[in-house]
Amino acid sequence: MNSFRESMQQVLQETAGSIYPLLTDLASQAANTYTLVARWLFPLLSLVILVRCLVPLIRERSTDTVWGYLVLANGTSIPVRNWENLIGRGKYADIVVNFPVISRSHAVLTFRNGSWTIADLGSKGGITVNDVKVDKAQEIQFGDVISLAGIDMALVPPVQNEALVPTGAAGNSGDTDEEKDFTLNSTVTLMLLFLFQVLAVVQLFASRASMTLAALPVFGIFFLTELFHYFIMRKLQSKSIELEILVYFLCGLNLALVASAAPSDLKKQLAAILIGIAAYTVITWLCLDLGRARRLKYLALVGGVLLLILNLAFGERIYGARNWINLGFITFQPLEFVKIAFVLAGTATLDRLLTTRNMTAFIAFTGACIITLALIRDFGTAVVFFGAFLVIAFMYSGDLRTLFLVTAGAAFAGIAVVTFMPYIAMRFAAWGKVWQYADSSGFQQTRTMIAAASGGLFGVGSGNGYLKNIAAADTDLVFGILCEEWGMLVALCVVLVIVFFVFYAVLLTKNSRSAFYAIAACGAATIFLLQTALNVLGSVDVLPLTGVTIPFISNGGSSMVASWGLLAMIRSAV
Amino acid sequence: MKLLAIRTLVLIVLALLFLAGFTVFVGRYLHSAAAWAQHPSNRHFYQNGRLKETGTIYDRRGEILLETKDGVLTYHPEENIRTAIMHVTGDQDGNVASGMLKVMWEHLTGWNLLTGAYRYQDSLSATNDLTLTLDARLSALAYRELNGRKGAVGIYNYRTGEIICMTSSPSFDPQNPPDIQADPERYKGVYLNRLLSAAYTPGSIFKVVTAAAALETIPGIEERYYHCSGKILIGADTVTCLVPHGDVMLKDALAHSCNVAFAEIAGELGADVLQHYAELAGFNSRLTVNGIKTAAGRVDVKQAAPVELAWAGIGQYTNTANPLAFMVFMGSIANDGLSVSPAIIARENIFPALAKAEKRMLPEETAKKLKRMLRNNTLTVYGEHRFSGLELCAKSGTAEVGEGKEPHAWFAGFLDREDFPYAFVVVIENGCTGSRTAAAVAASVLHAAVDRYQ
Ligand SMILES: [Zn+2]
């Protein structure tokens, strides 16, 4: 019996005492019947929404904009599709010029601030522009004679009479039929999502959970925000916005989980979503321009270091790790925001990446993060940072051997830590045999598995679970609540959305305007992936339980805002 | 950007690793979700570690053995009945592994992989009920006849496989569980259904197996005489009888349980043949009764010395027998060599309803010869007056257990009646002479069984 129903009953009792038992019976019958039907609709709608979002995102990725052509002396004309292009003989070059005198990676052709630059990658043959030798890099004009190791070529503007001002926001949505279909499709998807979320709210009121009417405005504001944000996005850009719809889907589940597990946090969580969307919009806007984005990187680095120091100095322990800061009127987890700084710290443009190969600042920042995390004993997040470091470092260097060495080194360090600090090893002692310690060190994992088994494929209905009564279940064990109340199919959809973010970031890399965006997107996606992996697999004892959040799903304001911030990194790469 | 695109492979590898880990979880989920859901901390089903609700369990006569009444698990109103079949229903704390509350947990609680713990209107339906083949009152009688001695009684229909009587002692009242720890001797192995999950030294009842092997493999065995002087020297050891039996034929040797004759026969058969026929009779394998695996009886004479083989042939040595499995072997003799797999749950209750499974244990001819010999046992030794009208065919056993303890008493056999095709087994731990104590229990319970279904 929920308190909403109770208050309804009270009203009824006062007005019509005689028919009251009949009415409550009817109400309970209706609630039960509602759950019976709705629990089948949720997985179905989830799957439909998922498919309707993934298909356009995968299809759209190649924009095929041509910024210019590189014309060779023999008349061959090679389209220039990126802002940053590797020229060389090798098969990974964006512009393949197949002459033996040309090096595998010979030069980088970069568009920046309205002009093109060519940079030498230490090639054997060297570069001249209008017969003047290029030392490192040289700005070029259309029509200049560029000579790579004696092979002459020239950059010419694109054939269409199109102003060569790539800004990222290429005007409003067009008038073609195809684009109208496009808009219509995504609007239909959004409406399906609304249906899903409205059904979810009704389900919460039909459940055992003590829902109060105070929850209604929260969901109301959330719906309006989704709608408002959607149409703003629609207006501002022509690209498909299914990425945002997927995240609305996750946020809707987040609110439902919070409403069920920690109703008093509902307003705070809504505020976090609103701040998250605002942060997302600002960061996306800042990143539109590469110059701005690079300045943002340095700002974020400074901010990140400050947050680390702040955490070390004033950090408080609330659950597990000492990673909270209390400002009196608000508590937050600074390390969540360091993730954004971390990803930005790892970015670099292709010319930088191929000429200087200097990762000192990034390595130093990573080191600072991981040492801080070790000091406050947040090992899960340390693994997330380390994994993201590996991915970014490999995109930087392409050196598989170093990658293995670093991983092996970290593994040894991990083993050393566990060997010499037995109290840390204790934490992981139950791993792989949690059922033997079902009521002690395996408590959380076994309860998660019990909840998953109780949910079946369709769940017992949002609000009807029991796992939520365990401490920190709505963060560390949120996958269990998802399985119990929403069922394995919806939980699987959530996992697939996160995995899709990774594949999407990889797809974006190929046509990305700059390596800066590609690295940022991949870094952000890695953090999403690793957090989800550690949370999901940790809570069901496939990996040791470390206590990290699932982005957009776990209860937590800082995590929600930071996740939106990281999403902006992926969006910027589109 | 091609260069970077190639380098994102690391990210793809990480994603695939995650999916692989997730697949491991899904695999474990499919395999173990039922066990996870049964954990007593699962509040969908349990309150303070005890089941909140279960479907109703009926016996073959429609008596309610277990139901949920006003939110409380309620056993049969009569204490002697709920105690006698406690091992069949299972206790509230889930200690009896072979009880219906454990074995049929999914059926009784409505949990399944697809819909989990969800139940429409939070309540169970008639589909969660269960009807057993068991006659609870007959089982209660059998339990009373055991009279506090440890042991088990089973009766089953050797044509249909239905188990109509099953009881195991010691037991306790599952409605009001006693403090088991307070009396460890009395409650030794109390959670074990001794009919299903125990294996005892068989003693002379094993001679039926040796006789079956002899009928099959030794030509003219039925006309031969063996001389019993009361003892026989094999190697440096002797096998003895209580009294010298003189010149005996196979049927006399079986009726009077002549150790000397069967020691000689075992020697003639040899280890391999005896092993082979013991395994045909169900030794060294486990039966499955509606998903409950029984304990396996053991016969291993491959490495046995001659005297050990002799002891094995008369049911000693390292031999053990599971009471239910031996009852099924007896049933196969009654049923012309075909054994019917035993069941405790009424067939229409389970989905998919399995057809009764038959297995040939003995050739028809051998089964008929054994049946005549077992009938002869009753007529010449056990006394037809004790089993009047039952057409009883049986073999007793008095299994030496050493350590200065009284031997286990066995009595196993069947009724050679078309209207009451019942095979049975009685085993009483340290119950002394099988033909007296165990046979008395059998007589009383079998008479009651026939009377109840006349
Ligand atoms: Zn003898």
Distance, CA of A9 to CA of A550 (rounded, Å): 38
pLDDT of residue B27: 96
HEC string of A319-371 equals CCCCCEEECCCCEECHHHHHHHHHHHHCCCCHHHHHHCCCCHHHHHHHHHHHH
Do residues A81 and A68 touch, judged by C-beta distance below 8 A?
A: no
Contacts with A513 (C-beta within 8 Å, 6 or more apart), sequence order: A82, A83, A84, A166, A168, A290
A404 pLDDT exceeds 80?
yes
Contacts of A457 in chain B (CB under 8 A): 113-116
- Report the candidate in B281, B271, B227 with the shortest Cα–Cα distance to residue B253: B227
Give A80-113 as a DSSP string. Answer: E-SSEEEEESSTT-SEE---TTS-SS-EEEEEET
Please tell me which of the candidates A387, A457, A495 has its beta carbon nearest to residue B114.
A457
pLDDT of residue A172: 42
Please give the residue of chain B at the shortest CA–CA distance from A533.
B18
Hey, are the CB atoms on B15 and A454 less than 8 Å from each other?
Answer: no
Which tokens in the block code for residue A434?
């949690």
Please tell me which of the candidates B11, B111, B115 has its beta carbon nearest to residue A526.
B11
**B112 part of contact set with chain A, CB < 8 Å:** yes
**B3 part of contact set with chain A, CB < 8 Å:** yes
Hey, are the CB atoms on B41 and A446 less than 8 Å from each other?
Answer: yes
Which tokens in the block code for residue B454?
């006349």
Helix (H, G, I), strand (E, B) or coil at A282: helix
Contacts with A335 (C-beta within 8 Å, 6 or more apart), sequence order: A307, A308, A311, A323, A369, A372, A373, A378, A381
Between A166 and A548, the more confident residue is A548
A365 pLDDT exceeds 50?
yes
The predicted-structure confidence for A412-450, as pLDDT tens digits, reads as follows: 888 877 777 776 677 778 888 899 988 888 899 999 999
Burial B403-422 (b: 16+ CB within 10 A, else e): eeeebbbbbbbbbbeeebbb
**B20 part of contact set with chain A, CB < 8 Å:** no
Distance, CA of B411 to CA of B433 (rounded, Å): 10
To the nearest whole Å, the CA of A538 is away from the closest chain B CA by: 10
Q: What sign does the CA torsion over A162, A167, A168, A171 have?
A: negative
Do residues B391 and B268 touch, judged by C-beta distance below 8 A?
A: no
Do residues A251 and A299 touch, judged by C-beta distance below 8 A?
A: no
Hey, are the CB atoms on B12 and A86 less than 8 Å from each other?
Answer: no
Do residues B378 and B416 touch, judged by C-beta distance below 8 A?
A: no
Question: What ipTM is given for this predicted complex?
Answer: 0.90
Residue B57's beta-bridge partner residues? B66, B130
Cβ within 8 Å of A, B 117-156: 117-118, 120-122
Q: Quick one: pLDDT band at residue A165, thresholds 50, 70, 90?
A: very low
Distance, CA of A41 to CA of A32 (rounded, Å): 15
Hey, are the CB atoms on A453 and B112 less than 8 Å from each other?
Answer: no
- Report the candidate in A253, A297, A301, A251 with the shortest Cα–Cα distance to residue A276: A251
Q: Quick one: pLDDT band at residue A471, thresholds 50, 70, 90?
A: confident
Q: pTM (2 decimals)? A: 0.86
Do residues B441 and B146 touch, judged by C-beta distance below 8 A?
A: yes
pLDDT of residue A164: 46
The answer to which of A272-276, A400-404, A499-503, B238-242 has the lowest mean pLDDT is A400-404
Give A244-277 as a DSSP string. Answer: HHHHHHHHHHHHHHHHHH-GGGHHHHHHHHHHHH
pLDDT of residue B102: 92
Chain A interface test: which of B12, B17, B18 (most A C-beta within 10 Å): B18
Ligand 1 centre distance from Cα of residue B249 (Å)? 11
**B106 part of contact set with chain A, CB < 8 Å:** no
Chain B interface test: which of A454, A469, A503 (most B C-beta within 10 Å): A454
Ligand 1 centre distance from Cα of residue B401 (Å)? 20
Contacts of A455 in chain B (CB under 8 A): 116-117
Task: Sketch out chain B's domains with CATH numbers.
Answer: 195-452 (3.40.710.10)
Q: How many CB pairs under 8 A join A and B?
A: 165
**B225 part of contact set with chain A, CB < 8 Å:** no
Distance, CA of A289 to CA of A113 (rounded, Å): 9
The answer to which of A187-191, A236-240, A498-502 has the lowest mean pLDDT is A236-240
Which tokens in the block code for residue A505?
């970031």
Contacts of A543 in chain B (CB under 8 A): 21
Contacts of B12 in chain A (CB under 8 A): 502-503, 506
Contacts of B11 in chain A (CB under 8 A): 391, 502, 505-506, 522, 525-526, 529
**B7 part of contact set with chain A, CB < 8 Å:** yes
Hey, are the CB atoms on B2 and A350 less than 8 Å from each other?
Answer: no
pLDDT tens, chain B, 454 aa long: 788 888 898 899 999 999 999 999 999 999 999 999 999 999 999 988 889 899 999 999 999 999 998 888 999 999 999 999 999 999 998 899 999 999 999 999 999 999 999 988 778 888 889 999 999 999 999 999 999 999 999 999 999 999 999 999 999 999 999 999 999 989 999 999 999 999 999 999 999 999 999 999 999 898 999 999 988 988 888 898 988 999 999 999 999 999 999 999 999 999 999 999 999 999 999 999 988 999 999 999 998 889 999 999 999 998 999 999 999 999 999 999 999 999 999 877 665 556 678 889 999 999 999 999 999 999 999 988 999 889 999 999 998 888 888 999 999 999 999 999 999 999 999 988 878 899 999 999 999 999 988 8
Residue at B378: amino acid letter = T
Chain CA centroid to CA B290, Å: 12
Distance, CA of B6 to CA of A395 (rounded, Å): 9
Please give the residue of chain B at the shortest CA–CA distance from A513.
B1
**B48 part of contact set with chain A, CB < 8 Å:** no
Please state, rounded to an integer, the average pLDDT across all residues of chain A. 86
Please tell me which of the candidates B12, B21, B122 has its beta carbon nearest to residue A533.
B21
Contacts of B25 in chain A (CB under 8 A): 536-537, 540, 542
Q: Is the peptide bond before A56 cis (omega within 30 degrees of 0)?
A: no
To the nearest whole Å, the CA of B234 is away from the closest chain A CA by: 52
Ligand 1 centre distance from Cα of residue B201 (Å)? 20
pLDDT of residue A169: 40
Please name the residue that has the structure tokens 């009704």.
Answer: A202
